[in-house]
Chain A
Amino acid sequence: MVDEFTQTLLGIMVAIIMLGMGASLTPRDFYLALKRPYGLGIGVISQYGIMPLLGFVMALFLVVPEPIAIGILIMACMPGGTTSNIFTYFSKGNLALSVLMTVTSTVTGVILIPIILLLYASALDLDIPREDIVRVLIVLLVPVAIGMGLRKLNANVGAVIEFCGALLALFFIAFIMVTWVPQNWQFLLNTTGATYVAAIGLGLVGIMLGYMFATALKLHPRNARTVALETGIQNGPLAIAIIVFTFPPDQQQAIMAVPALYSLFIVIVSTLVTLFFRRANTAAEQKMPDSLL
């Protein structure tokens, strides 16, 4: 389904994306997050409370074959993706909070993802390779740490890697579009509408629930927008990597359907949301003169 070469390329791309994520961080970011853990707690709850529950409800009520249901669950249990940082940046959200939520959900995900996944999977009677998922998650934390080290060593190297990582995250979607979609064209035509509902709904409803949750807690609008995007935008590349590295080739096509479609549609959904958020932000921004003197 995914050949050796594509698989390697996929691994390298995910590693670079994670490297770029690390390069945008400083130890000070962690210190500040720990100083004010409220925001982070909200992030973890929305990431591993709201999203998996949404995925579970979808898998339960949408009429889909078992592999598709596994795909929905895995996608819903993923940590925040680096694309959420890009969209937060463009929607003038709190980038530090976004990056931090992404990293925290990735780090805590090593423990939380297998637990939650197992919980919901057993409730749905699905079979999940738990140990393999943990292994892949841990391996992916290494480039995050390396990225942080590189930024500390040289700000220029850090900024370049950060830039490339962010670009690659967008390129990744194009990559899926040209490699995976044509190969699976027939499958995409035959699969039920419910698959598409899940792939689009996971992101869209996730963003809406995240925003409602953050607003209910009276977060600053900037932070509420950030939490919303962070909740709805999942790490698609990671889901695909996990599926490719843990499931046997004959099962991959169907399990990967939702993560792959999700990765495509989330760009459209997030772009629309970003345009909406930008307008809200421009109205609220501090006005500075053209020049300070």
Chain B
Amino acid sequence: MEHQNRPWTAFYRAGARAEITTPAYRNLADMIVAVAATYGRAPAFTCCLPNGMNGTLSFAQADAMSDALAAYLREVAGLAPGDRVAVQMPNCLSFPIAAFGVLKAGCVLVNVNPLYTAEEMARQFEDSRPHALIIMDMFADKLPRATAAHPIPNIIVTRVAEFLPVLPRGIVGLVQTYWDKSVKRIDTPHIRLPAALAAGRARIAQGADVGRYHQDVAGDDIAVLQYTGGTTGISKGAMLTHANLILNMEQTMELIEGVENGVVKGGEVALTALPLYHIFAFTVNLLGFYWLGARNILIPNPRPLSNLKRAFENYKITWMSGVNTLFNGLTNELWFRDSPPRHLKFASAGGMALQSSVAETWERITGAPVIQGYGLTETSPVLTFEPLGKARAGSIGVPVPSTEIICLDEAGNPVAIGEPGEIAARGPQIMKGYWEKPEETAKTMRGNWFLTGDIGVMDADGYIRIVDRKKDMILVSGFNVYPNEVEDVLAAHPGVLEAAVIGIPDSEGGEAVKAYIVAADRDLNGQDLRAYCKEHLTAYKVPKIYEFRDDLPKSNVGKILRKDLRAEALAELAAE
């Protein structure tokens, strides 16, 4: 059932560990403290606003401030080890303080998407039952409705310009209160983050020992509840342990550190435009690049993309993470094409399939490659990564150290090399299970193998290609058509801005391929695209129907919602 000799380890850099099973630290709090002791006064986090206003915290400051928050949570708010603390904010200096503080207090961090509606928040609060919430003021107006069913006893409020120098902080505050009115009055009882830190500091001065809060936290204890729709669509919290996250951070960094053009300890400036509440940026940017001693440039809101301009102008960005949408968007911005970042070594893509046309354009403009990784919330998240300098077009790379991957057929048996099958993974980064949902956990685990719900193909030497989500697969006259492949071809057409492909019921072939197109070129029509697709795809994969639109439905996490398109198409067919 497994690759006996793991041929992919041959692609790791020379000297890389093929096995990483024992975490370098007992728990994340130990890691945070040890790294701060090494890098001390070097800048750790910089928050850069669209107009260039900024604030920076050093490793030592982040360490001391998160100590103060831990002391507040345990001594003043009265939380116990293992109590959940929800954190709901975009990227800002408060995020690392909040996340690190919660972990140091021996509590469990619950990341909450700040764009959630009050109903979505309420569901997550009911499920995770947090004892405290650290939230950004801009989103606090949703609290009365979000906490009606599950009241949260301790609410700590922060703001986007927190810990910036006094003048920029004041200006941003005035603008948010009186100009764009993004901050409203908060009626829910709360304490401000700086006040909570002051109270925590006072307790430490009186002798409270923060080290004691986490000295008994073991690798197998839950560190984070990371919510995901998962493969079944029901929102559930993946229980990620301290060992899961430390090991996944090590597994990922093992392959990009110490290699030519790779990252160097203490020498990187990382652009964090992806939200830290998402598992990708959480593990790779917040934990991984902190561990490397890098300076993280935090962008509160990358929309519109011109919000990133000052960050690229004012800092020598050497590494960045992104998703297909971000890389595609940036290469379409005039200012970015005019002066691409000169110090960039490489960029990492995840979260959704990276289209090869986007990867090529990016490398042509910046001179630095985008390398793709793959993983899920349940896998902390990284399972595979393209070895730097050995990328293969369209591939998600090879399994990271101590990770095994196999592809399974419908019956659950491994398929032959080169054949598509559902990807199953085994390794130290696989979650402990879903929070209080053993039956959901059972559905996604087969023994200690985690079923991803993605269809992939593995080469003989271990490189993997994702063909699609299992549930998005289209069956045309007995042939499998994977929407990603067709979308990739469509997106490479110069007249196409975005494309989505779904299957609809068809009298001839069971299912037919339908393409939704957002055109960049108004004159583009279905005949042109059909002719173009015929050149690049086998006949059964060529879309039968082309529909042009102004935009495509997307989740608030930026992925195109094929299920919405399918529902629409089915409703239309039913109406006919």
Give me the interface of A with B, judged by CB distance under 8 Å.
26, 28, 32, 94, 96, 151, 155-156, 158-160, 162-163, 220, 222, 285-293
Contacts and interface: CB of A to CB of B under 8 A. Distances in A.
Nearest to A36: B338
A293 B280 contact: yes
Contact of B326 (A158, A222, A292): A292
A77 B554 CA distance: 50
A89 B305 CA distance: 14
Contacts of B22: none
B313 A163 contact: no
Given A288-B305, A289-B555, A292-B558, A160 B168 contact: yes
A288 B51 contact: no
Interface residues of B, number: 45
Interface stretch (B29-37, B270-278, B387-395, B531-539): B270-278
A160 B171 contact: yes
Contacts of A288: 302-305, 325, 329, 558
Interface in B308-347: 310, 313-314, 322-323, 325-326, 329, 332-335, 338-339
B557 interface: yes
B351 A293 contact: yes
A222 B338 CA distance: 15
A287 B519 CA distance: 12
B195 interface: no
A292 B274 contact: yes
- The binding surface of chain B is classed by DSSP as loop
A291 B54 contact: no
A96 B338 CA distance: 11
Contacts of B171: 160, 163
B416 interface: no
Interface of B: 49, 51-55, 113, 115, 164-165, 167-168, 171, 273-275, 278, 280-281, 302-305, 310, 313-314, 322-323, 325-326, 329, 332-335, 338-339, 351, 551, 554-559
A156 B52 CA distance: 7
B464 to A, nearest CB: 22
B552 to A, nearest CB: 9
Contacts of A94: 334
B334 A293 contact: no
A289 B339 contact: no
Contacts of B168: 156, 159-160
Top 9 A-B residue pairs of the complex, sorted by shortest distance between their CB atoms: A289-B558, A159-B52, A290-B556, A293-B278, A289-B554, A159-B53, A155-B52, A155-B314, A288-B303
Nearest to B325: A292
Contacts of A151: 52
Contacts of A32: 338-339
Contact of A28 (B51, B52, B273, B313): B313
Contacts of A285: 304
A282 to B, nearest CB: 11
Contacts of B339: 28, 32
Contact of B51 (A162, A222, A286): A162
Contacts of A96: 335
A291 B275 contact: yes
A32 B51 CA distance: 20
B169 to A, nearest CB: 10
A288 B326 CA distance: 9
B54 A155 contact: yes
Contact of B557 (A159, A220, A293): A293
